[in-house]
Structure 1
Amino acid sequence: MKKDGNSSSSSSKSAPALKGVKNESKLPFWVEILFVQIGLPDNWLRTFLKSRKRTKALISENKKTLQLIFIILLATVYIDPVIKNARLQGQCVEGAKQYLKSNNLIKSNYKNNEIELALALRFCSGGEL
């Protein structure tokens, strides 16, 4: 009977020791590298962790608003090249029309805006005058 008592007491002694090892958490790799290996100040870590906590709270509170902002930003980035191309095409057409008017390059008897526009568009699209 004594053996049973000793075995239970030895297992109870080893259990708390193992329990402490299990509860011991490992540091994230970036904390290990930056603050342990390199030796950055501890107050930077505290500041970073507080900012991270506040940022997570802000994101969770304003999730719908942030999603809407992201969609608007994505749409703007998607549409911007189309708008830029249209603006540059319009500038090219206006410049070509002015060049046609100043050099009298329209050989048609009908010097109307449609012919000037057609020739300007042809020039801006890579054609010849």
Structure 2
Amino acid sequence: MVPKLRVARPTDQLAAVVRFYSEGLGLSVLTSFVAHQGFDGVILGHSQSPYHLEFTHQPGHVVGKAPTADHLLVLYFPDRHEWQAATARMQAHGYSPVPAYNPYWDQLGLTFEDPDGYRVVLQQAAWNF
């Protein structure tokens, strides 16, 4: 049995971050909650995928921006057409690529920055590890 992975991160801009990951990246909103023990949140992903992203906001608490430009999520697209569709969707929703902090990611991918300054690399390669 393979465990599922949930990456959880706080944000000051819950609605904008959800738009980035749902409309831009194409992830589905799997569930959301309001005022759950003082937190609002949204969990995104694909229902059959072994990973989910959770974004939370605690009213009255400021978390700020990403600490560096090298805090990344990397999504691998082995199929070039799927990668092109994913990068085109990001750009169609107003998210322009940014130069990667580590130039390695610019060789086969495009990097996009979310409203909190965290970056997502859409890599046109298979993950063979």
Output the TM-score relative to the length of structure 1: 0.17
Pick 1 or 2: higher relative contact order, CA cutoff 8 A, min separation 6.
2
The structure with the largest strand share of the pair is 2
The structure with the largest helix share of the pair is 1
